[in-house]
């Protein structure tokens, strides 16, 4: 009995699957690279996916645990999006203050813990994953959804309150609206008609 032929066939099949997976991953990465500068279109795409998910939830009238988990995931991503990359509370203990607290301090741009693109990408993957879970009845756990909704709102309010207090304490704003433009120093007008000279 020749067992060697089967092993060669398995390695060929594994190689083909590996190559197909690699090709699909490259195409997906190419799509992500092309979509990076298209901020508005990416967020519109996410809104369409979120709308499709909401319609699916309305039609099936279930999977509240999946939606609750998605809500917690969104809240966690939002907090990371609004937080600085280096927490000033921790850095203050080790190195001293990092964010400028006075007008004379050096300007340091706000660097997010979770950049905008990764925020969008994680939200999109989260909605797609939750949408896929709604096709498996094992995740349709019977619960009283108003309690989950109330608990999510309590979590959202308490977490955002803590985040806003952190922003106020360390004087940072996580949003910038375009590139700041400087017009330079304005020349002060001089009075050439000095009447004190003879």
pLDDT in tens, 96-148: 555 555 555 555 666 777 888 999 999 999 999 999 999 999 988 888 989 99
Provide the 3-class DSSP secondary structure of residue 147: helix
Indicate the pTM of the whole model.
0.70
Residue 73: alpha-carbon gap to chain centroid: 11
pLDDT at 179: 56
Task: Read off the pLDDT of each residue in 61-82 and give the average, rounded to a whole number.
Answer: 92
Cβ count within 10 A of residue 65: 16
Closest CA to 121 of 42, 20, 198: 42
Indicate whether 168 pLDDT > 90. no
What is d(CA 144, CA 65) in angstroms, rounded to the nearest whole number? 10
In this prediction, residue 104 carries a pLDDT of: 55
Task: Taking residues 39-68, report their average pLDDT.
Answer: 93
- pLDDT given at position 49: 95
């Amino acid at each position: 009995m020749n067992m060697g032929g089967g092993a060669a066939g398995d390695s060929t099949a594994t190689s083909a699957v590996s190559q197909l997976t690699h090709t699909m991953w490259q195409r997906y990465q190419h799509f992500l690279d092309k979509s990076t500068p298209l901020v508005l279109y990416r967020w519109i795409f996410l809104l369409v996916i979120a709308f499709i998910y909401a319609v699916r939830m309305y039609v099936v009238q279930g999977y509240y645990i999946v939606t609750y988990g998605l809500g917690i995931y969104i809240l966690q991503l939002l907090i990371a999006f609004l937080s600085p990359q280096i927490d000033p509370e921790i850095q203050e203990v080790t190195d001293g203050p990092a964010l400028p607290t006075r007008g004379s301090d050096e300007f340091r741009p706000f660097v997010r813990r979770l950049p905008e693109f990764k925020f969008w990408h994680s939200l999109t993957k989260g909605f797609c994953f939750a949408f896929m879970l709604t096709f498996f009845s094992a995740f349709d756990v019977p619960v009283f959804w108003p309690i989950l909704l109330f608990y999510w709102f309590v979590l959202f309010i308490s977490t955002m309150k803590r985040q806003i207090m952190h922003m106020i304490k360390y004087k940072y704003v996580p949003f910038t609206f375009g590139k700041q433009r400087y017009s330079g120093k304005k020349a002060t007008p001089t009075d050439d008609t000095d009447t004190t000279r003879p």
